[in-house]
Amino acid sequence: MVKKSTLESILQEEMSDFWALLENEEKRVIAENFKIQNFKKNEIIYSEGEEPLQLMCLLKGKVKIYKDGVGGRSQIIRLIRPVQYFGYRAYFSREPYVTAAAAIESATVGSLPMSLVEEHIRKNNGLAWFFIKELSNDLGISDARTVNLTQKHIRGRLAESLLVLKENYGVEEDGLTLNIYMAREDLANLSNMTTSNAIRTLSSFTNEKIITVDGRRIQIIDEERLRKISKFG
């Protein structure tokens, strides 16, 4: 048995879904071109308008994909957790990034040149199918999100965000505390509201004993209630 490089062992163990689809010869080329980068909290990973050159894979930490809109307001489009892939869509569309990505907390990102990824997609059907599924899932989520963000009221939007955070990043050992500590501003940008209203609505939820808040630690006490609020008013 040959000794594996650290990079290759990461590919094999962390990115197994992707790695398992490759032929032996492909694995060699991919491993050779695989790079790892660290990003500090709040550091920008890529910006709108830049040329998409890398397929990225979040190995550790949390990342937000967002878009700056009118009047300095920003909208969080989706959240990335380990191990998820991002940064590839714009390349497939042959256009510059229309979104930006930043680390919510310090993050480790593995990356591969998109040119190489494309090359392998064109040869390897399993890999192509992998991206078809990824894109289909993201598109479904994006379409649903459009309606949620435009039609629900503030309370419903925030309730939904809290549930999304739980589904996405899970909870701590107590089974209640959200495993992500977000600034109120990010919570607002995720829920399409102003920071003041995010704070205000969190307070309301606390008063109604639906959640407890301690700084950025949020516990979901009454999930059933939150679901109802998310669904209706």
Partner DNA sequence: TTATAACTATGTTTTACAGCACAAAAATAA
Partner DNA sequence: TTATTTTTGTGCTGTAAAACATAGTTATAA
Q: Which positions lie near DNA, rule CB under 7 A?
A: 71, 153-155, 183-185, 192-197, 199-200, 202-203, 213, 215-216
Whichever of 27 and 228 has its CB closer to DNA, that residue is: 228
> Closest distance between DNA and the C-beta of residue 150, in Å?
9
> Exposed/middle/buried for 83, CB within 10 Å: 0-12, 13-18, 19+?
middle
> What are the tokens at 83?
């191990």
Query: Does 162 interact with a second copy (rule: CB under 8 A)?
Result: no
Site string for a second copy, 9-48 (x = CB under 8 A): ----------------------------------------
Contacting residues for 191 by C-beta, under 8 A, at least 6 apart: 149, 154, 157, 158, 160, 161, 198
Query: Does 140 interact with a second copy (rule: CB under 8 A)?
Result: yes
Whichever of 142 and 196 has its CB closer to DNA, that residue is: 196
26, 64, 90, 108, 129 from 30: Cα distances, Å: 6, 26, 21, 18, 18
Find which of DNA, a second copy, none residue 185 binds, CB within 5 to 8 Å per kind.
DNA
> What are the tokens at 55?
């397929």
Whichever of 19 and 181 has its CB closer to DNA, that residue is: 181
Query: Does 64 interact with a second copy (rule: CB under 8 A)?
Result: no
Query: Does 128 interact with a second copy (rule: CB under 8 A)?
Result: yes
- Give which of 87, 23, 80, 25 is closest to 55, Cα–Cα: 87
Under 8 Å between Cβ of 157 and 231: no
DSSP conformation class of 58: E
Kindly list the residues in this chain that would bind a second copy in the complex (CB under 8 A). 67, 69-71, 73, 75, 77, 89-90, 92-93, 95, 98-99, 121-123, 125, 128-129, 131-133, 135-140, 142-152, 156, 192, 232
